[in-house]
Amino acid sequence: MKIIGIDGSPRKNGNTEKLLKKVLAGATEAGGATEFLKLADLTIKYCQGCGTCRATGECVMRDDMDRVVDAIQQSDAVVLGSPIYAWQVSGNTKVFMDRLCRLLTPKYESRLNGPKKIAFVYTQGNPDADLFKPYLDYQEKVYPFLGFTLAGRIQATGTRGKEDILAQEATLTKAYAFGQNLGAVSK
């Protein structure tokens, strides 16, 4: 039983990273084994669109995405974090999403090696929690298509300064409880 946190925020120890780590702390407390990966610390090149991975399951580029996919395959649940950039997920997160193409066979069957949940952590400067809901609902649809089961979303709003999330006790508590539940059900 393992939960992997993947952080798509380029900012080190910013709001997204803090909130995502809170979820992982809850999962750890519940007995889960957790791992944290920050996409900005890894070398993950843009998808070249060659299509090779669809046939083989392997990307022609050898970079840290191999390590990320291995970690996903060894996990029971993924928690993917992203700040909202220009009304969307961050560029790091989108490049990661593109590189997940290898998880689909030519017949659009999933290459995930077993059932896996995926949950999301988002932070945004705008105080309106519903503003990006249609977009977030839409962009998350790719994950069931890849074979994941959607497991929920934790969202923080109004986080502009790097430490702003620390003043949002209710959101941090919610993230921890969410992680506890994820860790427990993933056992």
Ligand X SMILES: Cc1cc2nc3c(=O)[nH]c(=O)nc-3n(C[C@H](O)[C@H](O)[C@H](O)COP(=O)(O)O)c2cc1C
List residues near ligand X by CB under 6 A: 9, 11, 14-17, 83-87, 123-126, 159-160, 162
Nearest residue (CB) to ligand X, 23 versus 104: 23
Q: How far is the CB of 36 from ligand X (least distance, A)?
A: 14
Q: How far is the CB of 110 from ligand X (least distance, A)?
A: 29
Say if residues 123 and 15 touch (Cβ distance below 8 Å): yes
At residue 101, the 3 state secondary structure works out as helix
Q: Cβ-closest residue to ligand X?
A: 14
Q: How far is the CB of 97 from ligand X (least distance, A)?
A: 17
In whole angstroms, give the CA distance from residue 13 to residue 169: 17
Q: How far is the CB of 64 from ligand X (least distance, A)?
A: 20
> Residue 9, CB half-sphere, CA atoms under 13 Å: how many?
24
Nearest residue (CB) to ligand X, 159 versus 186: 159
147 conformational bin, left if phi > 0, alpha if psi -120 to 50, beta if neither? left
